Amino acid sequence: MRGRDFLSAADISADEALALFELAKRYKEQRRVKQKHETPLNGKTVAVLFQKPSLRTRVTFELAVCELGGYPVILTQAEVGLGQREAVKDVARNLDRWVDAIVARVFAHETLVEMAEWAQAPVINALSDLEHPCQALADLFTLWELWGDVRGHRLTFVGDGFNVAHSLMLLCAVLGTHCTVATPKGYEPKETIVQKALEIAKVSGAQIVVTNDPVEAVRNAEAVYTDVWASMGLEAEAEKRRKDFAGFQVNSELLRNAPSNVVVMHCLPAHRGEEITDEVLDAPFSLAWEQAENRLHAQKALLAAILGGE
């Protein structure tokens, strides 16, 4: 993966993803026992650019770069004015002269595509309106830790078929994990993403299903995943979405239709009482906090794979 962009969960192969999981596992164990960190990013500088505010992405990427021996440069929209004060391609070409990689959390996915076109340094998607591949990488790593393997296991996403659902579908397809996405009518994943996942799944054997029935979707699920109903930038639709998503809350009633050993996932932040209840999010079978921790380890592995070595 040396020097490559990571804009989509489909940008890596199954073998590459599994190698990242093994490396993330090693980094996680080293951190747990307070072993001295490996420093494959020694002397490397990474710009971490935010059009959108963040907790998990900000902390985990900054820590990841530091712990691997590199130097993070954190940039906010107020400082950069990406696409407003200065053209995207100009920002990309400036950063390219100074840093070894660009991590960007943006609104429009096209912004990342343009940055990658104009910068020779690798560009990593830390979230866009189309995908959240770093989140999916941490999520499948979390399930890989739990199950020992992810091929043939069943993940169900209940909620808005937006960026997180897109990346989960694609990475599940890559890894051979069966993925069902249950949304209200009108909130299904983009057809282009569905078709791409189905095409990838022909090789891996994954089953990719989109449905409007949350009860049926969780029937055989080993993991049930949800996300906020109104993502950042869609707050004006929040009230309408609360009505449209009635019946799609991940709660004890819905989970009664799932296997007894089901686990629950959420990428956070959570709107408690909307897409998920306190009872479920705080339950022993909730993996939300493990997912959040694993953002650090998975992103360290990704950075090391893309920037490590000479």
The catalytic position among 227, 241, 291, 299 is 227
Contacts of 218 by beta carbon, 8 Å cutoff, 6+ apart: 156, 158, 182, 224, 254, 255, 257, 258, 262
Active-site residue 271, yes or no? no
160 belongs to a structural domain: yes
pLDDT(131) > 80: yes
User: Same domain, yes or no, for 272 and 139?
Assistant: yes
The catalytic position among 132, 166, 178, 297 is 132
User: Same domain, yes or no, for 251 and 123?
Assistant: no
- What three-state secondary structure class fits 216? helix
- The CATH number of the domain where 76 resides is what? 3.40.50.1370
User: Same domain, yes or no, for 95 and 164?
Assistant: no
Query: In the sheet where 208-211 sits, what is the strand order?
Result: 208-211, 178-182, 154-158, 223-226, 263-266
Which residues of the chain form beta strands (DSSP E)? 45-50, 71-76, 101-105, 123-125, 154-158, 178-182, 208-211, 223-226, 263-266
1 belongs to a structural domain: no
Mean pLDDT value of segment 100-118? 98
User: Same domain, yes or no, for 56 and 167?
Assistant: no
User: Same domain, yes or no, for 301 and 265?
Assistant: no
253 belongs to a structural domain: yes
4 belongs to a structural domain: no
Does an H or E element contain 113, and which? Answer: helix 109-118
pLDDT(10) > 70: yes
Active-site residue 109, yes or no? no
User: Same domain, yes or no, for 51 and 186?
Assistant: no
270 belongs to a structural domain: yes
Distance separating alpha carbons of residues 215 and 20, to the nearest angstrom: 34
User: Same domain, yes or no, for 58 and 162?
Assistant: no
Q: Report in angstroms the alpha-carbon separations of 69 from 1, 21, 95, 102, 120.
A: 19, 20, 20, 16, 22
Mean pLDDT value of segment 217-236? 88
DSSP classification of residue 124? E
pLDDT(291) > 80: yes
User: Same domain, yes or no, for 124 and 149?
Assistant: no
Contact between 205 and 198 (Cβ < 8 Å): no
Distance separating alpha carbons of residues 99 and 112, to the nearest angstrom: 16
The catalytic position among 77, 135, 291, 299 is 135
Domain that holds residue 160: 135-291
189 belongs to a structural domain: yes
**Per-residue pLDDT, 177:** 98
The catalytic position among 166, 267, 291, 297 is 267
16 belongs to a structural domain: yes
User: Same domain, yes or no, for 76 and 200?
Assistant: no
- How many structural domains is the chain composed of? 2
Active-site residue 227, yes or no? yes
User: Same domain, yes or no, for 126 and 222?
Assistant: no
DSSP classification of residue 86? B
Active-site residue 132, yes or no? yes
Mean pLDDT value of segment 246-259? 97
Hunting for tokens 């100009």 — which residue is that? 90
CA atoms 76, 82, 86, 92: torsion sign:
positive
pLDDT(251) > 50: yes
pLDDT 10s digits, 171-182: 999 999 999 999
Q: Which of 259, 231, 263, 264 is nearest to 245 (CA)?
A: 231
The catalytic position among 153, 295, 297, 299 is 295
Active-site residue 172, yes or no? no
Hunting for tokens 């639709």 — which residue is that? 237
Distance separating alpha carbons of residues 288 and 139, to the nearest angstrom: 9
User: Same domain, yes or no, for 29 and 139?
Assistant: no
- What three-state secondary structure class fits 149? coil
User: Same domain, yes or no, for 286 and 300?
Assistant: no
- What three-state secondary structure class fits 304? helix
**Per-residue pLDDT, 230:** 83
Q: Work out the pLDDT band at 310, boundaries 50, 70, 90.
A: very low
Query: In the sheet where 71-76 sits, what is the strand order?
Result: 71-76, 45-50, 101-105, 123-125
251 belongs to a structural domain: yes
The catalytic position among 5, 56, 105, 129 is 105
Q: Which of 304, 291, 243, 307 is nearest to 132 (CA)?
A: 291
